[in-house]
Amino acid sequence: MVPADATRALDSWLGGRAPGYRRKQILPRLWQRPVGSWEEASDLPRDLRGALEREFPLPRLHLATTQLSRDGTRKFLWRLPDGAEIESVLIPEGKRRTLCISSQAGCAYGCVFCATGRMGFGRHLEPWEIVGQVREVTLDATLGKPTNVVFMGMGEPLHNWEAVDRALTILNHAEGFAIGARHITVSTVGIIPNLAKLAARPEQFRLALSLHAPTHERRLSLMPVERKYGLDQVIPALDAFRRRVTFEYVLIKGANDSPEDGDRLAELARPLGALVNLLPLHPGGAPDLLPTGLAERQRFAGRLRALGVTATVRRSRGLDIDAACGQLRAAVQRRREVAAERLRWLIDSGWPLVRETVDFWNSLTRGS
């Protein structure tokens, strides 16, 4: 529930059970100074902690596995209560700690360069599962509270608008995580009805459009969503945003990186004053596609700048881990399938299974 609903629920529940000031002690433990369980809230009386544990148990995400890159990027694979798995990525840069979070388990939109799109759609996440990714990271004192949050993990945020809408409120509200709206970015392929709902919110949330190609034909070859929500509809819809829009553009060799692509991209970005983020294709996210080389990325950016467009060339983070969206979940699933196949082979072969079975179950526990 959002902070206003949590306040009402606590006030109603407390009633004559405890003094009213207890609510001011309890509410911050949800998001501002979160605890893993009510037993950890040592500033509350023991009997009140027990009652809260029974009435309002705090749901948690289970950390299935994590990877740490040499550049400091950390990837998390969370297991949800029903067994679904989602990913988050924490990217430290100076004083900034950007957390990339998921809004769905899997994705229905099938972008060819995205590991999540290739795995298909599982289900929508509940609001608590979305903000729970921020909460779990905040609970780890060695990581600290994220300063920035981007909805660029698994899933299409605007496909799960109702949950994302509530999650945005919790992330931004003064009694929630109190992360400034300008430090929260929603990335979308352009689901037009819900794009309008995001634009109607009064906060200054940032919008990133997953563009990746400047023409209908090019974009359709990479992003099936173009059939339903084409550029001829999506680009005009961006006029409703009062803040600067970013175009996310993964450069793929031979697919969207020609000089003509740059010219057409400039024609889309310049009237909106859009910032263009040029992203390298992460190796492993789409093994059948090739990334545009660094020199070519720089030339592409220079062409945009010469045409009056602000363009940045991003570098890949977490190259030594499974950092591409959906890649860790896919890699873990593959390792589990190999382990299960090996166990089946051992059983069929009639081998002694004690040590092999222990190793197999340990690998599942570690997610390796």
Q: Is 325 a catalytic residue?
A: yes
- 221 burial (CB, 10 Å; 0-12 / 13-18 / 19+) is middle
The catalytically annotated residue of 100, 107, 114, 325 is 325
The catalytically annotated residue of 40, 55, 87, 129 is 87
Q: Is 55 a catalytic residue?
A: no
Specify the amino acid at residue 203.
Answer: E
- 57 burial (CB, 10 Å; 0-12 / 13-18 / 19+) is exposed
Beta-bridge partner residues of 20: none
- The CA dihedral of 206, 329, 35, 180, to the nearest 10 degrees, is -10
Please give the structure tokens belonging to residue 12. Answer: 């109603």
- The CA dihedral of 291, 292, 294, 298, to the nearest 10 degrees, is -140
Specify the amino acid at residue 91.
Answer: I
DSSP-derived 3-state class of residue 115? helix
- Which positions are annotated as active-site residues? 87, 325
